[in-house]
Amino acid sequence: MTDNKLSRRAFLAATTTTALTGAACSLFIKPTSPGVVFIVIDTLRADRLDAKLHNLPVMPGLHALADNAVCCAEAYVQETFTKPSVASMLTSLYPEVHGVRFGIFTPGDIDKSKDPQSMLHVDVLSRELPSLPTVLRQHGYATIGVQTNMQLHAHSGFANGFDQYHYLDNVSADVVSRKAISAIERVKEPFFLYIHYLDPHCPYTPPKEIIHTFGVPEKPSDKDLELLQNYNEYYWDLVRHGLGLSEERAIGRLGRKGRNFLKFMYDGEARFTDSEVAGLIASVRKRFPRSLIVVTSDHGEEFWEHGSIGHTKTAYRELAHVPLIFAAPGLAAANINAPVESIDITPTIAAYLDIPLESGWQGRNLIPLFTGTGRRKQKCVYTSAFGMQPWDKVKWRAVYDGEHRLVKNFSQMKTELFNIANDPYEKKSLAEKEPGRIEELTKALDAIIEANERHPLKQETVEKARVEEGTIESLKALGYLQ
């Protein structure tokens, strides 16, 4: 049976036989297609789902959702930067194919003779590519986006396929949830609602009451406090170094207590988002009880596992590994340990809705994996990191086969290999001990690169759009611009 043919109907039939429960069966007969709520929580590491802080769960809402849903425990993004990552989710194409890599660049930085700071340009996602919203709209879905990340602004092509695309500048998760709920007030099924929360993205500033939930954070040392007070300077020093734009670090190192303080604040943002996402899901389910809810992130966040903080600068697992949850009535709860990737989300949603998959989509329909039906060869999943701007000296590629992860830093010609079960934070490379594995995974990586090169939808050139003046301050606030 092809992925295309194993649709929601077949999938539901499969789950009735494999997970037969009387209560759930009546929900399987549906006269029309359900709504789809696609939630992206920016910068959310996969390990926060089960994490505790001061003995309290960081994300109790998502944890409970995952317990009663299909939870993909080994989900990987295609790129550790928002823009290419979300483009891959929506188009089911690797970044090498959709071509959207760079968020912003200033021509003045390339050619100092021109220095028009206002001439900021961004890669534009092609309108020609079949994406989840464009395909769903063709099938009669009302399509609504609630967006908070400047990198995904309408002028970058991310509004393609949406009937409504609401951009909310610099707002917190409670405002996002309220907007999403009001946006579907007059909507009828079927609909597709994409909501992008930004709270766990730096700067980490959770509401005070959330911080108090976890108690008082350990007080940083005086030296740490000094660095934290000039956090922008400290952060940009790390970013410049991480992107290969400066050889040496200029600012001092943050000590253990200072680092723990930042982790504490990040967890506070995750906790706040968690309660707002839980509230949104409860509200949607009250009105549209059979909705398919999908939750994921566009990349993780590093906290000095490999010497830095933030994201975009490497392809290590703390940046590549994200939560991925599919929840719907009648969808039998399952924990999926096989590696999956962001490009699989679009074909899986389409298949669940009985919508034919586009021939160019590179991702897989994961429903056979969820139900244990059909034969499926395990696939290597792929992550890259190419920085935010063309001059960044960042070029990473990684593949994971479910046991070992090959991580290549092409800028420094460095190859590492990690056994993920034994070494989830990728601290001890086995590259010298296991040359056979390296060869095997390098072949898998080369095959992906080659397939991307000859893909019929490969965008040889990418349109550029000028960023509107008003967005520059927002980009600065997000840390994308100095």
Given the rule CB under 5 A, which of 42-50, 183-191, 234-242, 328-336 is the region that contacts Zn ion? 42-50
- What distance, in Å, lies between the first and last C-alpha atoms of the chain? 52
- Spell out, one character per residue from 155 to 184, where the chain touches Zn ion: x when CB under 5 A holds, - when not: ------------------------------
H helix intervals, 218-255: 222-229, 231-242
Given the rule CB under 5 A, which of 41-49, 129-137, 208-216, 243-251 is the region that contacts Zn ion? 41-49
Minimum CB distance to Zn ion, residue 299 (Å): 5
Out of 3, 42, 96, 302, name the contact with Zn ion by CB under 5 A.
42
For Zn ion, which is the closer residue by CB, 88 or 365? 88
* Backbone torsions φ then ψ of 434, nearest 5 degrees: -125, 65
Q: How many CA atoms lie within 13 A of 59 on its CB side?
A: 26
The DSSP code for 105 is B
301 lines the binding site for Zn ion (CB under 5 A): no
Minimum CB distance to Zn ion, residue 446 (Å): 28
- Spell out, one character per residue from 354 to 383, where the chain touches Zn ion: x when CB under 5 A holds, - when not: ------------------------------
Coil, helix or strand at residue 5: coil
For Zn ion, which is the closer residue by CB, 44 or 349? 44
H helix intervals, 288-354: 317-320, 345-352
Decide: 73 and 337 in contact? Cβ < 8 Å. yes
- 21-40: which residues touch Zn ion (CB under 5 A)? none
Decide: 447 and 123 in contact? Cβ < 8 Å. no
For Zn ion, which is the closer residue by CB, 41 or 381? 41
82 lines the binding site for Zn ion (CB under 5 A): yes
Residue among 152, 143, 85 at smallest CA distance from 124: 152
For Zn ion, which is the closer residue by CB, 298 or 341? 298
Amino acid occupying residue 243:
L
Given the rule CB under 5 A, which of 79-87, 99-107, 245-253, 344-352 is the region that contacts Zn ion? 79-87
Coil, helix or strand at residue 266: helix
For Zn ion, which is the closer residue by CB, 300 or 330? 300
318 lines the binding site for Zn ion (CB under 5 A): no
Here the tokens at position 424 are 């989830």
Minimum CB distance to Zn ion, residue 471 (Å): 16
Given the rule CB under 5 A, which of 177-185, 294-302, 393-401, 440-448 is the region that contacts Zn ion? 294-302
Here the tokens at position 250 are 């200029």
Minimum CB distance to Zn ion, residue 191 (Å): 25
Minimum CB distance to Zn ion, residue 86 (Å): 8
Given the rule CB under 5 A, which of 48-56, 253-261, 280-288, 291-299 is the region that contacts Zn ion? 291-299
Coil, helix or strand at residue 404: strand
Minimum CB distance to Zn ion, residue 55 (Å): 29
Q: Residue 439 burial (CB < 10 Å; 0-12/13-18/19+)? A: exposed
H helix intervals, 218-366: 222-229, 231-242, 256-287, 317-320, 345-352
DSSP per-residue letters across 37-78: EEEEETT--GGGSS-EETTEES-HHHHHHHHTSEEETTEE-S
Here the tokens at position 216 are 């008082």
Task: Please count the other Cβ atoms lying within 10 Å of the Cβ belonging to residue 373.
Answer: 18
Task: Please count the other Cβ atoms lying within 10 Å of the Cβ belonging to residue 470.
Answer: 8
The DSSP code for 91 is H
Minimum CB distance to Zn ion, residue 478 (Å): 9
CA distance 103 to 393: 15
Minimum CB distance to Zn ion, residue 151 (Å): 7
79 lines the binding site for Zn ion (CB under 5 A): no
The DSSP code for 468 is P
For Zn ion, which is the closer residue by CB, 189 or 298? 298
Given the rule CB under 5 A, which of 74-82, 187-195, 342-350, 400-408 is the region that contacts Zn ion? 74-82
For Zn ion, which is the closer residue by CB, 189 or 267? 267
Given the rule CB under 5 A, which of 70-78, 125-133, 297-305, 466-474 is the region that contacts Zn ion? 297-305
298 lines the binding site for Zn ion (CB under 5 A): yes
Minimum CB distance to Zn ion, residue 200 (Å): 9
Number of residues that bind Zn ion (CB under 5 A): 3
What order do you get walking across the sheet with 321-322 strand by strand?
Answer: 321-322, 75-76, 340-341
For Zn ion, which is the closer residue by CB, 81 or 214? 81
Minimum CB distance to Zn ion, residue 201 (Å): 6
Interface with Zn ion (CB under 5 A): 42, 82, 298
